């Protein structure tokens, strides 16, 4: 779980990263993977106001600086984009550093065959993070639309996805789905949709919108437990987002942990829960 730091704490973390150097002679895909995982964790720990500022970075500025920095790292080894760390530039410099490592790691993976579709090769040396090469780079031309002004999650890395190996005590298993064009019968991914029988929403109208102020149904926690225990071979289970508040999330987490500890079924348990945004006491919808 990512702990969000205040600005002073975060800048101190970045300054530590800025001082770490690795000679060019020691560069390999393991070193670069660890570096990308570490820098990504620091970026995600940034205060909310700084994370929002990432959207103000011009994409052409990022790309130009990252290309120059990547070339410098190949020649001189891992070092900070500027000769001296400067607090005022820390956020942009970290973004550039991540982009440069992201690009270099792809090249080193190809040279050392680490891009092979084997999730074990994608873990960092601490075993805490997957740094997964993408099949194709994230599009950042005109097709990306708002991608040029998007935040870190949308364009922080182009060649890789950084995924924790554990979430809230539950291990994350990377499942390779195969080609998107594969017939449904041969796809290894199974998904399901969960519903609550007899569900009723309490709504309050507000101009052309409405606010969901409450839900009425049976025992939500028990229903979630039953749904999870009945779908042990399901990779993906989706609940209607307006029905999922903090209590429902706690029930999911508890049920998933219980299922992962069960004997036979635990070996095939590969679930993820999804919703569009964090639940709040009241929800505004169009």
Segment 132-150, tens digit of pLDDT: 998 888 877 554 444 455 7
Residue 263: pLDDT band (50, 70, 90) is very low
Q: Which residue has the higher pLDDT, 249 or 31?
A: 31
Distance CA 260, CA 90 (A): 41
pLDDT for position 265: 43
pLDDT for position 279: 35
pLDDT for position 141: 58
Q: How far is CA 26 from the centre of its chain?
A: 28
Q: Which residue has the higher pLDDT, 232 or 102?
A: 102
Residue 277: pLDDT band (50, 70, 90) is very low
pLDDT for position 278: 36
Measured CA distances, 179 to 133, 182, 188, 189, 192 (Å): 15, 5, 10, 12, 20
pLDDT for position 113: 64
Residue 125: pLDDT band (50, 70, 90) is very high
Q: What is the mean pLDDT of residues 251-280?
A: 54
pLDDT for position 30: 93
Distance CA 42, CA 12 (A): 10
Measured CA distances, 88 to 40, 66, 75, 190, 251 (Å): 19, 18, 27, 47, 43
Distance in Å from the first CA to the final CA of the chain? 31
Instruction: Inform me whether the pLDDT recorded for 164 exceeds 80.
Output: yes
User: In the chain, what percentage of residues exceed pLDDT 70?
Assistant: 80
pLDDT for position 230: 76
What's the sign of the alpha-carbon dihedral 59, 63, 65, 66?
A: positive
pLDDT for position 72: 98
Instruction: Inform me whether the pLDDT recorded for 200 exceeds 90.
Output: no
Distance CA 180, CA 76 (A): 40
Decide the pairing of beta strands 200-206 and 209-216: antiparallel
Residue 35: pLDDT band (50, 70, 90) is very high
Q: Which residue has the higher pLDDT, 107 or 275?
A: 107
- pTM value? 0.73
Q: Are 66 and 99 in contact (CB under 8 A)?
A: yes
Mean pLDDT score across all residues of the chain? 81
Distance CA 227, CA 194 (A): 7
């Amino acid at each position: 779980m990512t702990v969000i730091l205040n600005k002073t704490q975060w800048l101190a973390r970045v300054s530590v990263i800025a001082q770490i150097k690795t000679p060019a002679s020691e560069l390999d895909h393991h070193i670069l993977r660890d570096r990308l995982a570490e820098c990504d964790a620091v970026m995600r720990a940034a205060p909310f106001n700084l994370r929002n500022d990432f959207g103000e970075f011009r994409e052409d500025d990022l790309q130009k600086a990252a290309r120059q920095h990547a070339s410098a790292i190949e020649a001189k080894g891992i070092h900070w984009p500027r000769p001296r760390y400067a607090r005022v530039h820390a956020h942009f410099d970290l973004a550039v550093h991540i982009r440069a490592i992201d690009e270099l790691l792809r090249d080193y993976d190809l040279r050392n065959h680490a891009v092979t579709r084997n999730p074990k090769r994608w873990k960092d040396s601490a075993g805490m993070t997957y740094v997964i090469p993408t099949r194709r780079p994230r599009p950042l031309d005109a097709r990306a639309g708002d991608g040029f002004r998007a935040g870190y999650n949308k364009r922080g890395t182009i060649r890789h996805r950084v995924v924790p190996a554990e979430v809230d005590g539950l291990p994350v298993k990377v499942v390779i789905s195969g080609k998107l064009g594969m017939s449904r019968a041969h796809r290894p991914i199974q998904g399901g949709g969960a519903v609550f029988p007899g569900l009723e929403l309490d709504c309050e109208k507000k101009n052309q919108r409405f606010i969901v102020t409450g839900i009425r149904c049976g025992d939500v926690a028990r229903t979630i437990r039953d749904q999870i225990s009945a779908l042990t071979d399901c990779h993906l289970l989706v609940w209607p987002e307006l029905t999922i508040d903090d209590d429902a999330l706690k029930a999911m987490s508890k049920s998933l942990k219980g299922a992962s500890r069960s004997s036979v079924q635990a070996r095939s348990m590969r679930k993820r829960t999804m919703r569009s945004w964090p639940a709040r006491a009241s929800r505004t919808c169009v």
